[in-house]
Chain A
Amino acid sequence: MNDKKHLSVSAIQNGTVIDHIPAQNLFKVISILGLDKIPNLITFGTNLESGHLGKKAIVKIADKYFERDEINRIAIVAPHAKLNIIKDYVVVEKMLVEVPDDIVGIVKCVNPKCITNFENVTPKFHVADKKNVSLKCHYCEKITDQEHMEYR
């Protein structure tokens, strides 16, 4: 893996590589993690060929390591994402994202009569089904399923 010539996105010495992001959700991942607001060196590639995802995207962030809770926030847009911890150009650890118990921000409540769609209230959900990712609104108690998920 030290053969840097063959990396489709350039190598980093230390940091995190987030691999197996569905290409259409790349920018959601960037915004959920706030990568557009940090000073680190970041490179990304998208529409790369991937067996099971069709087109995947990959993000490489130099000198940044994530906390579990932080990274789990992307689970609803990139449930199969894999994190590679890079130290001195080498993958030293791999982590899979896990769907968390609660989701704050990120998703809009599907119920047009919900308070979160009326006033300046951050949507909060309890994850009702981790496998198919359906979310129960903390406020109106209605379910938002994968098919109706809209991001903020």
Chain B
Amino acid sequence: MKNRSLVSINDLSREEIFRILDMAEEFEKNPSQRILEGKIVATLFFEPSTRTRLSFESAVNRLGGRVIGFSEASSSSVAKGESLKDTILTVANYSDLIVMRHPVEGSARYASEVSPVPIINAGDGANQHPTQTMLDLYSIRKTQGTLNNLKIVMVGDLKYGRTVHSLLMAMSQFNASFVFIAPKELQMPQEYKLFLKEMGLKYEEHTDLAENIKDADIVYMTRVQKERFSDPMDYEKVKNAYILRSCMLEGTKANMRVLHPLPRVNEINVDVDDNAKAYYFTQALNGVYARMAIMASILGLK
């Protein structure tokens, strides 16, 4: 991965995924290594984000590097109409690595083509968010001891959720089976179901949550957003059907863990937080280790 950009999870081979996960494990054991000493990482957030930006910045700081950047486009020259290309070429003069979130889809691929320094895509609109996928894979492997042959239940907005799409693509390399639980307005797009069929992988589709998590290894929750419904009445009808409660976890497998990319609104009831099967806050912490590993491997430091 040395000097290569990370734009899409599809750019990583199985071997590269394993290498990064192993490295992340090392960082978890020893998170304060000053290997980024003397390096400058630019974090360009053209769109706001809490977790992603702060976990990148935390990762850089713990590894002894420095961070420059902005957290919203209004505080950069973009507000004056500067093109993405010009912003990237300028910032590349000041940094060794650029972490970028941008609302326009494909912007990260384009940035990686014009930039003399590597780019890490921290989200390009509805398209890709590969470091999220890496931390999800890390969390799954850590809690299950393997990535192979797992049953992944995905819940909520499966139509627009880029995290579930990328996770599906990544887990399809490890003989996963899937259960999709979503209101009919937000079901998994046909193209992904076709892809699974072609890969010979099993999936089921349901609209009921409580009934269908009993034999899950991972329950991956996502937010159902009101804005996604053309008719607000349709939202009112389904909004409570996709809330996970602690009582629903009774009778689920002992190794089962609940993941969520966060932020959550109400789709996981707070009573789940104290259940040993809740894993989403640790998952967010794992984001720091996964990002340390990705940056170290791109900068050729490990």
Contacts A140-B127, A143-B191; A119 near B84 (Cβ below 8 A): yes
| Number of A positions contacting B (CB below 8 A) | 17
Would you call the interface of chain A mostly helix, strand, loop, or mixed?
loop
Chain A residues whose C-beta falls within 8 Å of the C-beta of B10 in the assembled complex = 141
Q: Which of B8, B10, B126, B127 has the most CB of A within 10 A?
A: B127
Min Cβ gap A124→B in Å is: 9
A139 touches B191 (CB 8 A): no
Judged by a CB distance under 8 angstroms, whether A111 is at the interface is: yes
A138 touches B109 (CB 8 A): yes
Judged by a CB distance under 8 angstroms, whether B35 is at the interface is: no
B109 touches A119 (CB 8 A): no
Judged by a CB distance under 8 angstroms, whether A37 is at the interface is: no
B191 touches A116 (CB 8 A): no
A141 to B10 CA separation, bound complex (whole angstroms): 10
Closest residue on chain B to residue A116 by CB atoms? B106
Judged by a CB distance under 8 angstroms, whether A5 is at the interface is: no
Contacts A115-B110, A119-B110; A142 near B84 (Cβ below 8 A): no
A121 touches B125 (CB 8 A): no
Chain A residues whose C-beta falls within 8 Å of the C-beta of B191 in the assembled complex = 143
Instruction: Annotate B6-28 by CB proximity to A: 1 below 8 A, 0 otherwise.
Output: 00101000000000000000000
Contacting A at CB under 8 A, from B117-148, are 124-128
B105 touches A115 (CB 8 A): yes
Chain A residues whose C-beta falls within 8 Å of the C-beta of B107 in the assembled complex = 115, 118, 139
A139 touches B109 (CB 8 A): yes
A140 touches B105 (CB 8 A): yes
Contacting B at CB under 8 A, from A89-132, are 109, 111, 113-116, 118-121
A114 touches B109 (CB 8 A): no
B104 touches A118 (CB 8 A): yes
Contacts A113-B105, A113-B125, A115-B105; A141 near B8 (Cβ below 8 A): yes
B contact residues vs A (CB 8 Å cutoff): 8, 10, 83-85, 103-107, 109-110, 124-128, 191
Report, nearest first, the 9 A-B pairs whose CB atoms are least far apart.
A139-B106, A140-B105, A140-B106, A115-B106, A115-B107, A139-B109, A115-B110, A113-B105, A115-B104
A contact residues vs B (CB 8 Å cutoff): 109, 111, 113-116, 118-121, 137-143
